[in-house]
Structure 1
Amino acid sequence: MFGLLAWLLECIIAFFEPYAFPQYDPNKQTKPVSGAENPSPYETRINAFHSSPVMKSKKGEEIKTLYDSFHADLQAHKNRRCLGTLNIAKNTYTWITYREVETRMRHIGSGLVRMCGAVSQSREENAPLDPKSVVAIFCRNCPEWLLLDGACHAYSLVVTGVYEVTPLADLSSVLNSSGAEIVCVGEKVAELAKAVEKCPNIKTVVLLPFAQEKVEWREGINVVSFVDVEIEGSLQTLPPVPPLPSSFATICYTSGTTGNAKGVELTHANMIASLSSVGIGDESLSQKDVYFSYLPLVHIFERTLLQYGLHKGVAIGFYRGDILRLMEDAALLQPTVFTSVPRIFNRFNSKIEASISQQGGLAEFLYLAAHGSLKRKLVRHEAMRAQLCKKENRTFFSLLAYITHRLYLAAVSKMYSVLVLSKIQQRLGGQVRLFITGAAPISARVLESLAITFGAKVISGYGCSETAVCGACTYPQWIPTEDCGAVSGACQVKIEPIPELENLPEGHGEICVRGASVFRAYLNDEEATRKAKDDDDFYHTGDLGTFTKTGALKITGRIKEIFKLSQGEYITPAGVEATYLMCELVEQIFVYGDSLKSQLVALVYPNEQALTLFAARHGINESKFSDLCSNEQVIKLFLTELDNAADGKLRGFEKVKGIWLLPEPMGDKYFTPTKKLKRNILSDDYRSTIDSVYRRMGVA
């Protein structure tokens, strides 16, 4: 009886689902602002379906600040799980509810004002930043991070986050630039103590519960515990001082690959415009979802997703702080939504494929058979669903065909999940229904492989700190594409020609964004602001891109990373690297070119397990991984595999002709906190190695 009821419910869902679809055409995702039928490829575009930066509660009331966002629908989920911490001793998560979170935010905010001297922002429109209202947070993701963030919103304070991996000199620079007088710290107590020696503005240090280290602080620093701040606020809780839409919400420091980080001023209006673009589509987050938080909250990508999650009543669980045990934590939490950056998705997918290949035999055959079968059915399902997004295509027979195919797909997916894929799915807890990625280009093949294996849809997006993460976003899909989807609803995007890059194809150029989500200015840097924003208020991102035939935005590289080979061809290395990362042998890759040379070379850190199996299949058995990396035969075979990965995807001059296999991964110093390569540092540190590759190729 239960099975029959479940089946009937599935029928009802399948029947009504098409009517809940957004009325968008996947073949016409954006439209020109001018409304022209045959627009120029450089014309300003907006989302063809949703182009309003307004956010509303379930009651239809307009939401104008992040304080409003948290409280708007709070009554509907106040007793549900909100923030979860891993209890390592019991191997389970412990939770506090939304009701408890709201109370604690008020206590913490009151404590910051009463005990730490924080001062709420001015109630005047567009008032300048008051350093006394700035609270810096220097710790990993944890419940306290979001509690502090919400406390600051409740009392019109401004949050600025600092990456834990920030070098000492940069840490002092960010703290001085923000003007913060209060800084909250987790494990990195010793590093902060050194940094504040050069930060006369810092008056108070708040030690979070896991800040264990005892250090000497410079004279004049008031050191208090987070617990005491919260207790002080609970003894005399102040009435909230909600911010204005024009009030500062955060100062978000960019994680640039070159130069000093700049402080991006983002208001509550900017953040709400961004949130209004999240969740458009049929996979919006809900109270039933569990979100796994480990990507740095300092970055606007994770911050925006969690703010939206808090608005929707999502349960948010945090990792233990050890990136090497990420999958362990995910398996315990059992998230329904898993967000990551390309580097981690690539590594995770490579490990899955390598483990399947290592098993071989029947296990490998069943995995490949399940994958192939599901892909064919999902491709058909996506095509049928896309057709039904248009009302004129909804006939009795088309709906019946869709319902029938969906039920068939659900049955087949369940069968493959139980018989073949369940062990792999359990690596992330077995409940993932949605993958979200951003921050850098990623191979569609990797996303497709993960989507099929886990039975989850995929959203990939494009944005940056200056646009409050708005730019473009795909609708949830099982079969991902190489693009970033439609322009976000809160902004307009145009492609600006770059005359000095004469070899760029038509329609390619710099991505420029304007709209309600775009930042006000760089903190204390009028010159940088003038350079970044033009007279029409477009922010020039520095990213290269184009619009596809379907109207989707596609990223092709960074302007400052483009270089020219000796024969005059322009190379965008990020795009070349993204292609090679599709090869299961590649864990990390840095593509290098010289304007005096005609060929590209690359430094590659191979996937150790995949390379060992690959070498063994070719009769090469070295006892040490470092010996494999220096083996001439392995290098030749590896280069052949890279050529195979590039076939049909890269032009001849874009293909790497020489490689050096690194026995150790490129360290953190070569990546920004958002995992973008620091190319200048890499090319300087590996200069002799790069020269050796060219010499081996016979190129002087």
Structure 2
Amino acid sequence: MVLKFVPYPPDADLKRQGIALPDSKRPGQTAVYASAWWPSIQPTDYGVHVLADVFESGLSRGPQRALLGSRPRIPHSSPAKLERRYVWQSYGQVDARRRDLGSALYTLFRDGTLGGGDLPTIGVWMVNRSEWQIVDFAAHLYGLVSVALYDTLGPDAVEYVINHSEITVVFASEAHMPTVLNLAGQKCPKLRMIVCVDSLEPQARNALNAWGKEKGVKIVELAELEEQGRKARVEPPKVVPEQVYSICYTSGTTGNPKGAVLTHKSTVAAVSMWCHGVPLDEKDITVISYLPLAHIYGRIIELFITAVGGRIGYFSGDTQMLLDDLQILRPNYLPTVPRVINKIYAGIANMAKQPGLKGAMLRTAIQAKLQRFHATGDWTHPVWDRLVFRKVQQVAGGRIEGLACGSAPVAKDAYDLMKVAFAAMGVEGYGMTETNATITRTMPQDPEASGIAGSPHAFNHVKLVDVPSMGYSAEDKPYPRGELCVKGENCIKEYYKDAENTKKLIDEDGWLHTGDIASVDEVGRFRIIDRVKNIMKLAQGEYVGLERVENCYSACSLLQQVYVHGNSLREYLVGIVIPEPAPFVELVHRATNEKISPDDRAAMERAARDPRVVERVLQELDKEAKHNGLKGFEQIRNIHIELDPFTVENGLLTPTFKARRADVDKKYGPIFEGLYAAGIPARSAKGKGKGKL
């Protein structure tokens, strides 16, 4: 019952990464693809069946091994400061704590103090910290169901999740206690207990107790629950693989969040998959935890690190201090996302622009290492790593050996530079909540892999299905294209209490439809190129429904048409607006004090390029966005004013008057890139409508 890293075969062929299964091609779809190296292996082959087994796999390496680390607060510091060291809890200590906490919770559910719904759900609302994982480990062992709550859901969505999943107890940090208490009572009538994971000062505890009494909920500290369990240990119940372990709610662009039902079986399968193709030494692996544990990507990483006996060091809770945390922790494995990679890329690029010898050496070193990597797949260099890149690597602690990127596509140039700068193997994965963050992954030694989704993971089968309405077909040349569909033990079987959306997600043959359009090349690697429903993900991980945003703006009387464009490598939206001539000339007069005629084409074109006019149009868009309640990341931040409408005749509209997105993006691609290159105009960055990017 031990999980281990499974390396690629010594003779792994880069030209054969995904294989088409024999006789699997059907009309309207590609063949079914599997991993070229592990096409038929199953998760159960490793003897790990439930998530408690994952912990036991790590514990078996030695109870004295360090597991969870954090930086202690300097006593009496104000404002709070942290020591420049990590303090660790061992596997044995965490084992005892999960049993103490699990015993207390199991007893409270068993005697009816908590629970009463379909599942024994517990809410968790805090930033990444060791207590997050201890609560989850306890839930794994005692058959409870964790439900992550997180800030970007918004208060209304959090209220919905608590009620929908019938949560009766929430574990929260002190910072989140007021928000949870505000929801208690009439808004969330089933909530009976709030557990603060921090030690409260007497005055704060008294105030929270009084507030809790008023709301009809009990306030408890985590240490108190652990003490109760320590005094009355309960033998863990038998947990079976099909049992639900978590409901992971995904923030949708319309309606309420959908609750992906994750079972022990599905998540164990994903953890087992992640152990394949990792060329690291499991005897010494340390990871920093800063990617939100409320999302499945962060959770799967920590579970697979636990499975092999690794160490998890938690960041300080402030991303501004992340570099400080890295330098103190000195991890050798760094999971990341495109937004972080882009910042590192920009920093290195700026260093390379330095005048004089330092800048020249860095530019030479970058060019030499990239040439070597693209030619051989080797991310190291015997000379330049020692002379130049050692200082770059020290920024992240100096020990990074492995990089993993997920959540959104990453720019090839940025990721390639990060690999060679850190002299680290880098993989890129593709998955979603509904597949436990697991579908495909790239090979680290593949020099052409950056920016693509990769080949199927071990245990997964993948195919592409025609999308005629968007012009994508399995017969497309040079590469087949279509909606990516997946099968595997890691895939969910349902959304919680949501038969309608479950039916949309999983077809009659059991294939999960991702909603992503992909192509597959001759090597068996998949690349994400579009979305079926024009729902896309920005670089920071936020989903945006482009058509929905367009509908919100279309009510603006100034506009004849509006087209919203997003790029998964960027953090905000841009757009094309086609104004109504009459109100547009009035706006031009207000902006420039110049009177023009709608029939004067030259004057109209000059006005459309005038920064003052663009600013005024953006102000009108801001008003419409505010009126419709668009979030900051859903708002258009820069625009191109076009005078010629989209029509069926010019090929930019379908016969049903919907935008042909592929054709619009092709025609206006250079303009969109120009808008991004120009950045967010000062008005948009400073305006009242500014929101989260």
Helix, strand or coil: the match of 1:475?
Answer: coil
Aligned in 2, Cα 1:360/1:43: closer, same or farther, shift over 3 Å?
same
Confirm whether residue 66 of structure 1 aligns to residue 51 of structure 2. yes
Q: How far apart are 1:454 and its partner, in Å?
A: 0.6
Corresponding residue to 2:299 among 299, 303, 324: 303
Mean alpha-carbon deviation: is it higher for 180-189 or for 344-353? 344-353
Mean alpha-carbon deviation: is it higher for 444-453 or for 650-659? 650-659
Q: Deviations over 1:496-538 (max 9, x none)?
A: 1111113775522211112211102111111111111111111
Corresponding residue to 1:134 among 121, 132, 152: 121
Q: What is the aligned partner in structure 2 of residue 207 from structure 1?
A: 196
Confirm whether residue 162 of structure 1 aligns to residue 149 of structure 2. yes
Aligned in 2, Cα 1:595/1:560: closer, same or farther, shift over 3 Å?
farther
Confirm whether residue 661 of structure 1 aligns to residue 644 of structure 2. no
The residue correspondences of 1:225-304 to structure 2 (distance < 5 A) are: 225-284=221-280, 286-304=282-300
Given that 1:53 and 1:276 are in contact with CA atoms closer than 8 Å, whether structure 2 keeps it comes out as no
Mean alpha-carbon deviation: is it higher for 478-487 or for 421-430? 478-487
Aligned in 2, Cα 1:548/1:281: closer, same or farther, shift over 3 Å?
same
In 1, Cα distance between equivalents of 2:145 and 2:166: 11
Q: How far apart are 1:161 and its partner, in Å?
A: 0.8
Aligned in 2, Cα 1:118/1:152: closer, same or farther, shift over 3 Å?
farther
Q: How far apart are 1:22 and its partner, in Å?
A: 5.4
Q: How far apart are 1:559 and its partner, in Å?
A: 2.2
In 2, Cα distance between equivalents of 1:120 and 1:474: 48
In 1, Cα distance between equivalents of 2:192 and 2:278: 48
In 2, Cα distance between equivalents of 1:467 and 1:19: 23
TM-score of the two chains, using structure 2 as the length reference: 0.74
Given that 1:183 and 1:206 are in contact with CA atoms closer than 8 Å, whether structure 2 keeps it comes out as yes
In 2, Cα distance between equivalents of 1:668 and 1:41: 45
Helix, strand or coil: the match of 1:363?
Answer: helix
Q: Which amino acid aligns with 1:28?
A: R
Given that 1:422 and 1:430 are in contact with CA atoms closer than 8 Å, whether structure 2 keeps it comes out as yes
Given that 1:285 and 1:314 are in contact with CA atoms closer than 8 Å, whether structure 2 keeps it comes out as no
Q: What is the aligned partner in structure 1 of residue 520 from structure 2?
A: 547
Given that 2:564 and 2:573 are in contact with CA atoms closer than 8 Å, whether structure 1 keeps it comes out as no
Q: What is the aligned partner in structure 2 of residue 340 from structure 1?
A: 336
Helix, strand or coil: the match of 2:307?
Answer: helix
Q: Which amino acid aligns with 1:366?
A: M
User: RMSD between aligned alpha carbons?
Assistant: 3.5
In 2, Cα distance between equivalents of 1:668 and 1:421: 42
Q: What is the aligned partner in structure 1 of residue 633 from structure 2?
A: none
Q: What is the aligned partner in structure 2 of residue 190 from structure 1?
A: 178
Q: What is the aligned partner in structure 2 of residue 107 from structure 1?
A: 100
Q: Structure 1: which 5+ runs fail to align?
A: 1-16, 123-128, 383-405, 566-570, 582-587, 598-625, 631-637, 640-649, 672-676, 678-700
Q: Deviations over 1:314-338 (max 9, x none)?
A: 1000011112211111111111111
Helix, strand or coil: the match of 2:64?
Answer: coil
Q: How far apart are 1:116 and its partner, in Å?
A: 6.4
Q: Deviations over 1:635-656 (max 9, x none)?
A: xxx99xxxxxxxxxx8443222
Q: What is the aligned partner in structure 1 of residue 600 from structure 2?
A: none
Q: Deviations over 1:477-504 (max 9, x none)?
A: 3734321111122221111111111377
Q: How far apart are 1:245 and its partner, in Å?
A: 0.4
Q: Which amino acid aligns with 1:654?
A: G
Q: Which amino acid aligns with 1:592?
A: G
Q: Aligned pair count?
A: 560
Q: What is the aligned partner in structure 1 of residue 161 from structure 2?
A: 174
In 2, Cα distance between equivalents of 1:171 and 1:589: 25
In 1, Cα distance between equivalents of 2:424 and 2:161: 39
Q: What is the aligned partner in structure 1 of residue 653 from structure 2?
A: none
Q: How far apart are 1:282 and its partner, in Å?
A: 4.5
In 1, Cα distance between equivalents of 2:331 and 2:689: 27
In 2, Cα distance between equivalents of 1:372 and 1:39: 46
Q: What is the aligned partner in structure 2 of residue 402 from structure 1?
A: none
TM-score of the two chains, using structure 1 as the length reference: 0.73
Corresponding residue to 1:426 among 389, 394, 413: 394
Q: What is the aligned partner in structure 2 of residue 371 from structure 1?
A: 366
Helix, strand or coil: the match of 2:363?
Answer: helix
Q: How far apart are 1:150 and its partner, in Å?
A: 0.6
Q: Deviations over 1:44-81 (max 9, x none)?
A: 2221221346346xxx7511111111113522232111
Q: Which amino acid aligns with 1:209?
A: D
In 2, Cα distance between equivalents of 1:138 and 1:117: 23
Q: How far apart are 1:35 and its partner, in Å?
A: 4.8
Query: Percent of aligned pairs with the same residue?
Result: 25
Aligned in 2, Cα 1:203/1:117: closer, same or farther, shift over 3 Å?
farther
Corresponding residue to 2:15 among 8, 15, 27: 27
Q: Deviations over 1:647-673 (max 9, x none)?
A: xxx8443222663624439999966xx
In 2, Cα distance between equivalents of 1:19 and 1:336: 17
Q: What is the aligned partner in structure 2 of residue 527 from structure 1?
A: 500
Q: Structure 2: which 5+ runs fail to align?
A: 75-82, 536-545, 551-562, 581-610, 616-638, 641-664
Q: How far apart are 1:133 and its partner, in Å?
A: 1.2
Aligned in 2, Cα 1:166/1:41: closer, same or farther, shift over 3 Å?
closer
Aligned in 2, Cα 1:175/1:109: closer, same or farther, shift over 3 Å?
same
The residue correspondences of 1:466-505 to structure 2 (distance < 5 A) are: 466-477=434-445, 479=447, 480-502=449-471
Aligned in 2, Cα 1:50/1:39: closer, same or farther, shift over 3 Å?
farther
Aligned in 2, Cα 1:209/1:194: closer, same or farther, shift over 3 Å?
same
The residue correspondences of 1:664-683 to structure 2 (distance < 5 A) are: 664=685
In 1, Cα distance between equivalents of 2:440 and 2:92: 34
Aligned in 2, Cα 1:503/1:114: closer, same or farther, shift over 3 Å?
closer
Given that 1:53 and 1:516 are in contact with CA atoms closer than 8 Å, whether structure 2 keeps it comes out as no
Q: What is the aligned partner in structure 1 of residue 558 from structure 2?
A: none
Q: How far apart are 1:416 and its partner, in Å?
A: 2.2
In 1, Cα distance between equivalents of 2:25 and 2:166: 50
Given that 1:54 and 1:62 are in contact with CA atoms closer than 8 Å, whether structure 2 keeps it comes out as no
Q: What is the aligned partner in structure 2 of residue 77 from structure 1?
A: 62
Q: What is the aligned partner in structure 1 of residue 356 from structure 2?
A: 361
Helix, strand or coil: the match of 2:304?
Answer: helix
Aligned in 2, Cα 1:499/1:120: closer, same or farther, shift over 3 Å?
farther
Given that 2:18 and 2:456 are in contact with CA atoms closer than 8 Å, whether structure 1 keeps it comes out as yes
Aligned in 2, Cα 1:64/1:321: closer, same or farther, shift over 3 Å?
same
The residue correspondences of 1:453-468 to structure 2 (distance < 5 A) are: 453-468=421-436
Q: Which amino acid aligns with 1:31?
A: I
Aligned in 2, Cα 1:529/1:23: closer, same or farther, shift over 3 Å?
farther
Q: Which amino acid aligns with 2:574?
A: V
In 1, Cα distance between equivalents of 2:113 and 2:33: 39
Q: Deviations over 1:289-321 (max 9, x none)?
A: 110001111111111111111110110000111
Aligned in 2, Cα 1:232/1:322: closer, same or farther, shift over 3 Å?
same
Q: Which amino acid aligns with 1:348?
A: I
Q: What is the aligned partner in structure 1 of residue 647 from structure 2?
A: none
In 1, Cα distance between equivalents of 2:313 and 2:293: 13
In 1, Cα distance between equivalents of 2:523 and 2:376: 19
Q: Which amino acid aligns with 2:259?
A: G
In 2, Cα distance between equivalents of 1:558 and 1:252: 22
Aligned in 2, Cα 1:654/1:458: closer, same or farther, shift over 3 Å?
same
In 2, Cα distance between equivalents of 1:68 and 1:260: 34
Q: What is the aligned partner in structure 1 of residue 324 from structure 2?
A: 328
Q: Deviations over 1:203-244 (max 9, x none)?
A: 111111167765423432121110100111111111112410
Q: Which amino acid aligns with 1:483?
A: I
Q: Deviations over 1:133-170 (max 9, x none)?
A: 11110111110011011101111111111113331111
Q: What is the aligned partner in structure 2 of residue 590 from structure 1?
A: 573
Q: Which amino acid aligns with 2:516?
A: D
